[in-house]
Structure 1
Amino acid sequence: MTFWVGLDLGGRETKLCVVGAQGEVIHERYCPSDAEEIHAALSAFPIEQIQLVSVEAGGGTHIVRRLRAFDYPVAIFEARTASKFLKIRRDKTDDGDARGLADLGRLGQSTVSRVRLKGLERQQLRSRLMVRHKLVRHRVAVDNVIRDLLTLYGGTWKRTEATGGTRIWGQEQIELIKAAQNVDRTAELCPLIELSEALQSYLKETDKWLLKRAEGNPLCRRFMEIPGVGPICALSFYTAIEDPFQFPKTSSVGSFFGLAPTVSQSGTRETRKGISKMGSRLTRMHLFVAANTFFSRYKEDAALRSWALGLAGRIGKKKAKIALARTLAMVMLAMWKDGSSFDLNHRLGSSPPAPADSSS
């Protein structure tokens, strides 16, 4: 017999479902979210008869690593597309998701994208990038609250890079408000100012750590030769791709990051819509920031800049920046594959890719 296994991984419990060749449920149960416990729950099924163990991306990578160490054929399916397969069932339950994942491995694995399990080094870098991204958003939110409160009472908010500068400026504004309006906002503002400064300090150390990792990686150093591509974008691209040869065509990397326009076709009618926004949202954002930096700040006369400016004149700056972000991804992948350094005029002097009739 052959078996397909679906695992609906939870924080504490995992729903396990084993189905046969005809989709019949052979075994299902709850067990703790632990690789050894799952291995014990599957002990009645010889590993060589298990065709695939299906899980949904989004967590439990440590469990997947351990199960693969036990020689289970584990596949991680992209959550966004896997969810569409799971929605075939009327109710969304743990039982339904586990059985749906088992059926996904049995019937739909060729139609749903898989996610590669990253190595530990890349996973560490990726996690640090994600934490940085979230904390930047939190810092901006905290700063906006401080600015609104100070503005309400006639003060102003100014961020400084000097250590302790933010606290000094905030305290001065509190004293000015107290003197001018006889209103003391110390208890309200001081904790927020301290939080803002703590986040700023942590992010500064994180950026130093990431810069050191990027400069210590020969590939990322070459990526940073590209105008607009800094250590964050270089590391983000490096950790998102992992294996450049998974792309037979360099141009397909744009679709991988959701930077390519989608096409809707029916009969003789074909409509190009916005970019798909599939793949890593984080790396897509970093590529767009790099393109924006290149477009706005890089002033040297070069083939890529001339192409981007000409494109902006025809389709607008925003769409041109999306097309430039896709082009930068293609350039970085090509550099990775052939081991070359960046040459702006030589590499893109022939025929840049078609523009995206899309919006971000």
Structure 2
Amino acid sequence: MTHFVGLDVSVKETSVCVVDDAGKVFCERKVPTEPDDIAVLLSSIGGDYSRVGIEAGPLSQWLVNGLTAAGFPVICVEARHMKALLQAQQVNKSDRNDARGIAQMMRVGLFKPVHVKTLAAQEQRMLLTSRKLMQRKLLDIECDMRGTLRNFGLKVGVVSKIGYEARIRELVEGFPRLAAIIEPLLTVRRVMRQQLATLHKMLLSIVRQDPVCRRLMTAPGVGAVVALTYRATIDQPQRFVHSKAVGAHVGLTPRRHQSGEIDYDGGIAKSGDSLLRTMLYEAAQVLMTQNRHWSWLKAWGMRVAQRRGLKRAIVAVARRLAVILHRMWIDGTDFRWGSEPSTAIAVV
């Protein structure tokens, strides 16, 4: 008998619902949120499992990997898609009803699967997010000290990162109470800078040893952080049949609204991974405004800027850069700069 399973996951317990191919509930139970406990329950029930559905969430990658290793066909479903379908059930919101709804989704095949990243990609992603968190908190501390001291007429002004601490001490030298308050913040800032440098060295070490990242860095505007972010987010490039789909995957394609006589394009979708979208935009901005080397991609972006403006041109270049990097990864080739035209008009 073919069975379909729905798992509604919480931190401590997971609601499990098993239905047959006719939609009849075969088993409903709650088990601890552990891959082994769920696998033991499903194995005790027996039968042929066609699909095991789980909603994308913080624990989904861990559970999917564990259940897949146990031999179960697990499918991770996109959270917004699942929420819309579960709301259409017109039943009370509960873990039991959600597990039932997920099991029925598996039975009828009405779901949108998402990619579950490999362990290496998850580790790279954690390094990137930790480094970003450290940068953000370090900037918060520095801005807070600047704003607080300004209330006492003490203006930090323009100062380098290295000279920042000396400048703060110079300003609060005649204010012993302020100096006592500022000292712990300066200590925290000093430690955070050291740990941020440690994380950045780890990132550079990974990029140096990864041939994919080194190949991606041959593209203009793409540095170590952008390359590793792209590497960790895409993870397996074969899951995209066409390279053009990567631009839509990271939310860099325009929204479209069409209904009756109404038909217009809006701003970019901003769906998918926000970190990769931000990194691609920054790479395109560097390419368009700071990179002095000629490339056909910059020439194309400049032509777009003449028609639509610089901001839209940067978004267009970011979208095209996402497609190009995927094609480079699939083909195993470096970026092709092309030959510079003899006329200066093409690069203006």
* 1:319 Cα offset (Å): 1.7
| Distance (whole Å) between structure 1 residues aligned to residue 3 and residue 223 of structure 2 | 47
Aligned to 2:149: 150
Length, aligned pairs only: 336
RMSD: 2.2
Q: Deviations over 1:251-301 (max 9, x none)?
A: 111011111112222245432122222221111111111111111101233
* 1:137 Cα offset (Å): 2.2
| Distance (whole Å) between structure 2 residues aligned to residue 344 and residue 149 of structure 1 | 49
Aligned to 2:231: 238
2:56 is equivalent to residue 57 of structure 1 = yes
Aligned to 1:297: 290
Aligned to 2:263: 270
1:166–1:193 CA contact under 8 A, matched in 2: no
Matching residue's letter, 1:171: R
| Distance (whole Å) between structure 2 residues aligned to residue 38 and residue 266 of structure 1 | 45
| Distance (whole Å) between structure 2 residues aligned to residue 206 and residue 44 of structure 1 | 45
Q: Secondary structure at the match of 1:325?
A: helix
Aligned to 2:104: 103
Q: Measured at CA, do residues 262 and 174 of structure 1 come closer, stay the same or move farther in structure 2, by a change above 3 Å? A: same
2:309 is equivalent to residue 310 of structure 1 = no
2:190 is equivalent to residue 189 of structure 1 = no
Q: Deviations over 1:163-215 (max 9, x none)?
A: xx544333322224x1xxxx722343333332233222222211111111112
Aligned to 2:345: none
* 1:234 Cα offset (Å): 0.5
> Which 10-residue stretch deviates more, 211-220 or 24-33?
24-33
Unaligned runs of 5+ in 1: 347-360
Q: Measured at CA, do residues 196 and 93 of structure 1 come closer, stay the same or move farther in structure 2, by a change above 3 Å? A: farther
| Distance (whole Å) between structure 2 residues aligned to residue 93 and residue 128 of structure 1 | 36
1:39–1:67 CA contact under 8 A, matched in 2: yes
Aligned to 1:17: 17
Aligned to 2:166: 168
2:204–2:224 CA contact under 8 A, matched in 1: yes
Q: Secondary structure at the match of 2:31?
A: strand
1:166–1:197 CA contact under 8 A, matched in 2: no
Query: 1:131-142 residue pairs with structure 2 within 5 A?
Result: 131-142=130-141
Aligned to 2:68: 68
| Distance (whole Å) between structure 1 residues aligned to residue 281 and residue 83 of structure 2 | 27
Aligned to 1:199: 192
Aligned to 1:223: 216
Q: Secondary structure at the match of 2:44?
A: coil
2:321 is equivalent to residue 328 of structure 1 = yes
1:53–1:75 CA contact under 8 A, matched in 2: yes
| Distance (whole Å) between structure 2 residues aligned to residue 148 and residue 249 of structure 1 | 49
Unaligned runs of 5+ in 2: 340-348
Question: How high is the TM-score relative to the length of structure 1?
Answer: 0.86
1:167–1:194 CA contact under 8 A, matched in 2: no
Q: Secondary structure at the match of 2:38?
A: helix
| Distance (whole Å) between structure 2 residues aligned to residue 39 and residue 199 of structure 1 | 42
Q: Measured at CA, do residues 88 and 135 of structure 1 come closer, stay the same or move farther in structure 2, by a change above 3 Å? A: farther
Aligned to 2:42: 42
Q: Measured at CA, do residues 222 and 97 of structure 1 come closer, stay the same or move farther in structure 2, by a change above 3 Å? A: same
Question: How high is the TM-score relative to the length of structure 2?
Answer: 0.89
